[in-house]
Amino acid sequence: MIAGSGSVDRDLTQWFTAELDAFRSDGGQVACIGERGIEPFVPLDHGGGAEIAATELWRLGHRRIGVVAGPAGLLTVHRRLAGIRAAWARLGGELPDSRVVFTDFTRSGGREATLGLFAADAGVTAVLALGDVMAAGVLTALQDDLGRAVPEEVSVIGFDDVPFAVDLRPSLTTVRLPLEEAGERAVQLIADGASPARQAPLGVALVARGSTAPAGGAGGE
């Protein structure tokens, strides 16, 4: 079973595919969680989840958002960022490159990215972090380093709904991916030993908690 994001590095992807082909030639069975050019796979709707999160921020009146995006070389990051941009374009918003910060999928990465984001544009009223671990760092930077109240001054949305998201201060609004179901389906694909017809992506949902609120007077462009 293969989990985690694929890479946009073509050479790395080709090498990895060759390794899997060799594994299969020895009788191994492979299944992937998420689409990364490997069959069979269990599709996850990264782009759709990001669109839901961005649409929720728009509904709350946020127009000047920032994105803490994770590593630039990961397919998952590209798909989630594409979902945000698609929603923002549909709604009539603007998301300049200066408000998208690539960083490590870590708490410290989220913190440093947020400090850089607000140094460049202190008028941001919401941050969408493309991973809950980074979102923990976003909350630390906003509240402890910058003295910004969450969600009264700045709203924060994460992605994945990891178990500790509900224990953050405040509890984290996030996009829930059905990871347990995805794992079960991947195991079944391996057990079946066959590549079934292409499946629809597993559903995603926004889990609203304490880190989001309507934008205040600084919410416009």
pLDDT-derived band of residue 218, with 50, 70 and 90 as boundaries? very low
Model confidence at 217: pLDDT above 50: no
From the list 163, 158, 196, 190, the residue with the least C-alpha distance to 175 is: 158
Measured distance CA(95)–CA(62) in Å, rounded: 12
pLDDT at site 198: 60
Measured distance CA(36)–CA(10) in Å, rounded: 11
Model confidence at 163: pLDDT above 50: yes
For residue 21, CA distances in Å to 37, 38, 82, 187, 191 come to 13, 10, 30, 19, 18
Structure tokens at 161: 């709904």
From the list 160, 135, 163, the residue with the least C-alpha distance to 150 is: 135
pLDDT at site 33: 77
Q: What tens digit of pLDDT does each residue of 15-44 get?
A: 777 777 788 788 787 877 777 667 777 878
pLDDT at site 38: 72
Which runs of consecutive H residues, i.e. helices, occur in the chain? 10-25, 46-59, 75-91, 107-120, 132-140, 179-192
Burial 8-37 (b: 16+ CB within 10 A, else e): eeeeebeebeeeeeeeeeeeeebbbbbbbe
Q: Residue 156 pairs with which residues in a beta bridge?
A: 127
Q: What is the mean pLDDT of residues 182-189?
A: 81
- Architecture of the 46-176 domain: 3-Layer(aba) Sandwich (3.40)
Mean pLDDT of the chain: 88
pLDDT at site 165: 96
Measured distance CA(35)–CA(209) in Å, rounded: 29
Every domain of the chain and the residues it spans: 10-43+178-203, 46-176
pTM value > 0.75: yes
Q: What tens digit of pLDDT does each residue of 29-87 get?
A: 787 777 766 777 787 889 999 999 999 999 999 999 999 999 998 888 999 999 999 99
Unique residue bearing structure tokens 């629809």: 200
pLDDT at site 192: 77
Structure tokens at 4: 């985690």
Measured distance CA(127)–CA(99) in Å, rounded: 9
